[in-house]
Chains A and B, each alone.
Chain A
């Protein structure tokens, strides 16, 4: 700070010389938008950390009901994990296609992302329906309440992500790769990758630790 003040002195109150020298100036809208969305994602992770904390505290409180080790089917969880991981990869391909402004590859990659996301959701929905049908719904014990809240909240995020994904496909189809569409897609890609990070915590803490204990 002081160095520039000395260098420019009073002859350059608005630091115009700095601009001439290639000074970046205010950040571009893409950076501001992306950073703002990144802050939102971090706050979302803080919210998830509250659900994780409540799950960790309540995971032993089964009220005489089944524990995680008796309920979880790790094979299904592995398939879910691979689905979500591959859809994150496909979303990365879509980002590359968006930067290359290639509509065909963008739509193909987004379609793949969408299908893998739907595959994840359908496995999760079946798992939930199966648990409820066997009488192990969220009302059975504190452990199951916390389980349905945490995993269900992640599932809701993925559902919202799929809807957002479809609107992004439609927007690119209708309007092309305009700067504002590109910014929205940047936010969507961040959201989708962040969901995958949260799922890593979910399958490790809830499913793997739950069935190991």
Chain B
């Protein structure tokens, strides 16, 4: 990937790729700050999640959506601050692999839910089916 990057731009942009989990630059203090910010954000999102799950203050049907949105946000925080998966040019391979992984995850989960909901909707309950077979 850095190969193409170099050839497309044709100049001395020589940043090598990063291993997933590695950070591009930064002193000890800067890196520590990154983890502290990540921890703070994650704790905040977790606390919000638990609060929303048990509260009567918000419109009840919105709660599952809020929990899922907060969970996705927190996974993003973990990816960026703990796993250091960023959108930088040196991270392209890692992000592309992640994108493909996410595609499969969404296909598996979304597809299963969709198909099973359809089956539930279209099939009659098992006890009725048994009676018809008699």
Partner of A209, one of B38, B67, B93: B67
The number of chain B residues with a CB under 8 A from chain A is 56
A54 partner residues in chain B, CB cutoff 8 A = 112
Q: How far is the CA of A21 from the CA of B7 in the complex (A)?
A: 12
Min C-beta distance of B65 to chain A, whole Å? 10
Determine if A204 and B7 form an interchain contact, defined as CB atoms under 8 angstroms apart. Answer: no
**CB within 8 Å for A74 and B35 given contacts A42-B97, A81-B46:** no
**CB within 8 Å for A31 and B104 given contacts A194-B83, A212-B64:** no
Determine if A42 and B64 form an interchain contact, defined as CB atoms under 8 angstroms apart. Answer: no
Q: How far is the CA of A34 from the CA of B31 in the complex (A)?
A: 19
**CB within 8 Å for A100 and B28 given contacts A22-B12, A39-B97, A89-B35:** yes
Determine if A212 and B20 form an interchain contact, defined as CB atoms under 8 angstroms apart. Answer: no
A56 and chain B: residue at smallest CB distance? B113
B22 partner residues in chain A, CB cutoff 8 A = 30, 34, 186
Determine if B6 and A23 form an interchain contact, defined as CB atoms under 8 angstroms apart. Answer: yes
A27 and chain B: residue at smallest CB distance? B17
Q: How far is the CA of A30 from the CA of B2 in the complex (A)?
A: 16
Determine if B113 and A53 form an interchain contact, defined as CB atoms under 8 angstroms apart. Answer: yes
Q: How far is the CA of A7 from the CA of B68 in the complex (A)?
A: 52
A97 and chain B: residue at smallest CB distance? B28
Determine if B28 and A96 form an interchain contact, defined as CB atoms under 8 angstroms apart. Answer: yes
Residue A173, interface by CB 8 Å: no
**CB within 8 Å for A24 and B71 given contacts A92-B35, A204-B49:** no
Partner of B71, one of A96, A99, A194, A205: A205
Partner of A35, one of B20, B42, B83: B20
Determine if A186 and B16 form an interchain contact, defined as CB atoms under 8 angstroms apart. Answer: no
The number of chain A residues with a CB under 8 A from chain B is 61
Q: How far is the CA of A39 from the CA of B19 in the complex (A)?
A: 12
Residue A49, interface by CB 8 Å: yes
Min C-beta distance of A56 to chain B, whole Å? 6
Residue B109, interface by CB 8 Å: yes
Partner of A193, one of B2, B78, B93: B78
Greatest chain A CB density within 10 A among B20, B43, B53, B104 is at B20
B52 and chain A: residue at smallest CB distance? A208
Determine if B100 and A42 form an interchain contact, defined as CB atoms under 8 angstroms apart. Answer: yes
A21 and chain B: residue at smallest CB distance? B12
Residue A46, interface by CB 8 Å: yes
Partner of B50, one of A21, A95, A208: A208
A143 partner residues in chain B, CB cutoff 8 A = none
Residue A38, interface by CB 8 Å: yes
**CB within 8 Å for A24 and B113 given contacts A49-B104, A200-B71:** no
Partner of B21, one of A27, A53, A190: A190
A49 and chain B: residue at smallest CB distance? B105
A–B complex contacts, Cβ < 8 Å, 28 sampled? A4-B7, A23-B6, A27-B2, A28-B16, A31-B18, A34-B20, A42-B98, A46-B104, A53-B108, A53-B109, A53-B111, A56-B109, A57-B116, A74-B54, A78-B46, A78-B50, A82-B43, A86-B39, A99-B31, A100-B28, A190-B83, A193-B78, A194-B83, A200-B46, A204-B67, A209-B68, A212-B53, A212-B67
For the complex of A and B, list the 5 residue pairs with the smallest distance between their C-beta atoms, beginning with the closest. Answer: A34-B19, A42-B101, A204-B71, A53-B112, A38-B20
